[in-house]
Chains A and B, each alone.
Chain A
Amino acid sequence: MSKYSFIFENTVFLFIGVVLVIFALTPTGLIPSKQVFPDFLFCFIFIILVRKPKVISILSVIFLCLLADLLWFRPLGLTTIAYILAAEILRTYLQARDKIGLVEEIILITTLYIIITSVQEVTKFFTLIPSLALGDIISYVMLTSLLYVAIVLIVRVMGSKLSF
């Protein structure tokens, strides 16, 4: 892989990520929604990471997560730590394998997401940061996992790996 292709793919990854972070800020009324919406940024980062573990730089992931922390008024650094550790676990797991199956990918990512959300919520609890009710957090995790499955299925059915 050439240096230019590495820079180009990371730039495109960053561009799409930044657009996703900014799109989440779209004002759609102040009414609290009955249903929490899934985390598109997580799905985007991890779908690309599973497919291009050697291309996507850890610095790009840090930049996107910190930008989301800043603009979405999340606790600074907490989600970024969780995402980076999850990304590194995923990278180490993928290094040991040549190819990853659909079911394996879904189980792996869902497990990782449950773990990182739990770690964040426990940290919030001990550092006295208010958070959602348990039911809302569970539906948030489930919706994000379902969104991930839907996107992965679409990508697989279309028969193409995500390539820039």
Chain B
Amino acid sequence: MALEQDAAWKAVRRFFLIVIVLSLALLFALWRTDNQRLERFRYAIVDEIVPSTNFLLRPVTIAYQMIADFNSYTKLYSQNQDIKRELQKMTGWKEAALQLEQKNAQLSILNKLKLNSTINWITGQVVADSGSPFNQSALLNIGSREGVKDGSAAMGGLGLVGRVSGVGEKICRVILLTDVSSSIPVLIQKTGQSGLVIGDNSFNPKLSFLESSRAVSAGMRVVTSGQGGVLPPNLLVGRISEDSTGTLRVILAADLKELNYLRVLVKIDKNNLTSPGGLIVN
């Protein structure tokens, strides 16, 4: 009797397991084919869990910050010397920039140039990492309620860091340029050649699909081309370098090590009034 019960229990368990595995396989197939819907579901869950569990991460974050600060103190003297040197250079650059700004303003007036003022930015704090070595992404504490949209560019201090891929109400996910699934259309400023900056999980992403790689050389500036309409044009990405195997790479302008806050560029929707009816309030 007991043996029969045991066999029956085992059969039920096996059936239950098969159902679970098939359901999970279906879930994976659905995720792969109808990604948008399941990703919305994912963001709804992340939206609830990550902000409310942030207190758990605080001790670890503080400990990590203390170690980073200690490392920084040990380099204080050399950093101070570097900053002094940079400051001297910057004073010269500041003067040049002021002159160029004046010249630019004069030329803009002469040409009756109307600048595009529809781009604004929102600053968000990095609240969570990707959690897995298979992704290079970060979660920011800003979301759709602040006006962040899918595909918006995320900037570090100087240059592009990545793009927003997935927005929740209170959070958004930024896929970094270093992620394996990141490809950004770029322009080599000096030659005007277009190409793609493709992440490969290394510190410096690859520069591929150039019209002619002979025409480019190390040190040239790389900016976004704006092709595809996802990212705005002329955002600084970095400078070209060549690795030991001869592969062209981009040294990112943004210092990823020091980034705790990112600026997300958002387009301002201008709702033009087409009729006076929009102004009448009953």
Residues in chain A within 8 A of chain B (CB atoms): 19, 21-34, 36-37, 58, 62, 68, 70-78, 80-81, 84-85, 88, 127, 129-133, 136, 140
Contacts and interface: CB of A to CB of B under 8 A. Distances in A.
B175 to A, nearest CB: 9
Given A30-B259, A71-B131, A76-B42, 11 more contacts: A22-B53, A26-B57, A26-B61, A30-B126, A31-B203, A34-B203, A71-B45, A72-B131, A72-B132, A73-B42, A81-B21
A133 B134 CA distance: 10
B128 interface: yes
B24 interface: yes
B101 interface: no
Contacts of A58: 17, 20
Given A77-B24, A131-B180, A136-B133, A29 B257 contact: yes
Contact of A140 (B133, B135, B181): B133
B137 interface: yes
A46 B256 CA distance: 35
B136 A26 contact: no
Given A30-B126, A130-B181, A73 B135 contact: yes
Contact of B28 (A30, A31, A68, A75): A75
A27 B135 contact: no
Contacts of B202: 32
Given A26-B128, A32-B136, A77-B27, A70 B42 contact: yes
B64 interface: yes
B38 interface: yes
Nearest to A81: B24
Contacts of B56: 19, 22-23
A159 B136 CA distance: 40
A27 B128 contact: yes
